Structure 1
């Protein structure tokens, strides 16, 4: 944290950015019966075999079969080669599904269509989330982005827009603000960054802090903070001073799939004020 003249040295916990590789949402079959990809999950013309579409919808892996499919079982194989699950195919059925939730191992899954003991066809599908922070802001500065622009308590909270461009769902289990914010999530503030039981995420519909938020492949959603990271608390974090101050902080998302951590760095500026809680804050992405 720096002012115009003196320099303040304070410990800032730096976190690394962890991202997932962008992969296709749907896996389809090519003319040779192998695996291919398509943006809409449909089988390319000329493809042969009972499997017409394999895709992730929400937290479910869906397998669609052709009308002529002579298949009595579909198996789903995990990236480590172990069986994830199997589904019997009733006569005339054209779809089976596997609920993968948000505790699955990311990677390439194989779908096997069986007739008796024989594998008739196989398809591969990469299932992996790819989360990124699109935008963040402070309720006081952008009330229109909050759940209730007329509420006084939004001024101390923040919004964070998150997008999942991957092919698998994920669960966001913590929303953290670490660094030179007024009331950070580490030991210099609310001190919940090492507590897995505290998410720091507010659900306006339930009017409470929730354990996690599920984000589906292709979805963009907005998270709201719950622990007031932009509240001025005397003796905690950063307060207003008689001189302008500049610093930096990170917004961090803890996620379940692959135990990944996603973060974005930001710069923060405090205007000068004679009162510890009455300065203007502006932020910008680094």
Structure 2
């Protein structure tokens, strides 16, 4: 995602998790420094003769804010540019595997290789998009409220656990600690802790009368330490079985 240019810099852009600075090899630049929003040095790159680009790995542990790029020649500043590096991740869509199997990682085939009791019917997909100018890392996915199997002490109870993310990665066939989302990118996350499994005596079960409630879908992000959340209404149809009702959700 291009941020700025001008002066001695031809282009400054964020590519995946890197800040890329392009310049002219004719300007006599021999070093480029990247200064953090707090004024401290983030990194410096020596410029080899004839080169036209340097990059800085931001990763998922940088401080968001306004960065300054300084071009040096023989120790003297010959130009600088500023760039805002700030993620802005939003939840676009959330759905239950039982209702939208085609959007699950297995296409709704309910692959049980991972766990004998696992089914994508009980999992969810969450589509998120980064509208900001910097990468972010999503470190936790959980549900609080009137879902069948919530993530707090009413259910799986992993909200306070640093070792459980609740995020399933189909490629590694495992729960992962974080998922990186680059600026301008849209990705789909999958739950790993069966928030829509009916468990006797836990969470919300079906009943002879239909009922409604609401729940919060919450993502924790590493950059800025914030939470991204969205509230949904949930409706359970009437059923004679504790796990036999239909579930529908809608945004509040």
TM-score in terms of structure 2 length = 0.95
SS in 1 for 2:137: strand
8 Å CA contact 2:29, 2:71 repeated in 1? yes
1:229 paired residue number: 195
Q: Deviations along 1:228-272, whole A, 9 cap, x unmatched?
A: 000000010000011111000011000000001000000000001
Distance in 2 separating the partners of 1:60 and 1:213? 16
CA offset at residue 196 of structure 1? 1.7
8 Å CA contact 1:178, 1:249 repeated in 2? yes
8 Å CA contact 2:8, 2:80 repeated in 1? no
CA offset at residue 151 of structure 1? 1.1
Q: Deviations along 1:185-240, whole A, 9 cap, x unmatched?
A: 11100000111211000011111111110001100000000000000000100000
2:109 paired residue number: 150
2:26 matches 1:68: yes
1:242 paired residue number: 208
- Structure with more relative contact order (C-alpha pairs < 8 Å, separation 6 or more): 1
Q: Deviations along 1:26-47, whole A, 9 cap, x unmatched?
A: 3323xxxxxxxxxxxxxxxxx5
2:3 paired residue number: 27
1:59 paired residue number: 17
1:186 paired residue number: 152
1:281 paired residue number: 247
8 Å CA contact 1:50, 1:68 repeated in 2? no
2:8 matches 1:50: yes
Q: 2:218 aligns with which of 230, 246, 252?
A: 252
8 Å CA contact 1:165, 1:217 repeated in 2? yes
SS in 2 for 1:155: helix
TM-score in terms of structure 1 length = 0.84
SS in 2 for 1:265: strand
Distance in 1 separating the partners of 2:75 and 2:192? 54
CA offset at residue 182 of structure 1? 0.1
8 Å CA contact 2:25, 2:49 repeated in 1? no
Q: 2:170 aligns with which of 195, 204, 208?
A: 204
1:214 paired residue number: 180
SS in 1 for 2:102: helix
CA offset at residue 107 of structure 1? 0.1
The CA RMSD over aligned residues, in Å, is 0.9
How many residues were matched structurally?
244
2:61 matches 1:109: no
Q: Deviations along 1:154-196, whole A, 9 cap, x unmatched?
A: 1000000000010000000000111000000111000001112
1:79 paired residue number: 37
1:129 paired residue number: 87
Distance in 2 separating the partners of 1:194 and 1:28? 40
Distance in 1 separating the partners of 2:8 and 2:49? 13
2:235 paired residue number: 269
